[in-house]
Structure 1
Amino acid sequence: MMTTARSVTVRLLDKEYTISCPDGAEAELLASADYLNDKMREIKNTGKIVGLERIAVMAALNMSHDLLKNKEHQRQSVDTHLRRIGSKIDNSLNTSNSGG
């Protein structure tokens, strides 16, 4: 079965772009575009970076950095949780073995 694509118009820093997306994914695309637009506007408002392309690249780099930082934090949280569970299992096994 083929997925039908739709054209959706998004606005980034007052410039419109027509993007093709799978049918049913329009809301996600629009939410992503709004998020990107907010990040680009933040960068533009600092006045340090000029030009749509440079602003877009800086926004993408910032968002990628945040994503990677978040992934690393989640990985560390999982590792810590697994160590705690392992410790509880070890303690439980030691307690049950010493009682018999």
Structure 2
Amino acid sequence: MKQLEVTIMGQSYILGCPEGGERALLEAVGNVDQEMCAIRDAGKVRARERIAVLAALNLAYVQAERPMSANGAAAASNVDLDALVTRIDEALGHDGQLL
């Protein structure tokens, strides 16, 4: 297994990657970094772990909501991050409120 050093939101990580999977892993890292930086830059959430949870939920939501095309590939989708945060806060209630 190959190891790649990547950076997510300014922090370095060493990740294991199967041979030939480098491109897919780097694309996933880019998506996670983009989501986490967007949440951080919006200024609503400061804690890195909360940013990571929101980014993970956002990416999972986008994946789940994408309609599948005839060849099984997911179609592109835009998600309103503020609306997603509101939905997560409503689901968690006051004890787990992210914002």
Which TM-score applies when normalising by structure 1?
Answer: 0.64
1:20-99 residue pairs with structure 2 within 5 A?
Answer: 20-70=16-66, 73-74=67-68
Over aligned residues, Cα RMSD in angstroms?
A: 1.4
Q: Which residue of 1 aligns with 2:8?
A: 12
- 1:68 offset after TM fit, Å? 1.1
- 1:66 offset after TM fit, Å? 1.1
Query: How far apart in 2 are the matches of 1:17 and 1:42?
Result: 19
Query: Which protein has the larger Cα radius of gyration, Structure 1 or Structure 2?
Result: 1
User: Which has more helix, going by share of residues?
Assistant: 1
Q: Which runs of 5+ in 1 are unaligned?
A: 76-100
Query: How far apart in 2 are the matches of 1:23 and 1:69?
Result: 30
Which TM-score applies when normalising by structure 2?
Answer: 0.65
Q: Which runs of 5+ in 2 are unaligned?
A: 70-99
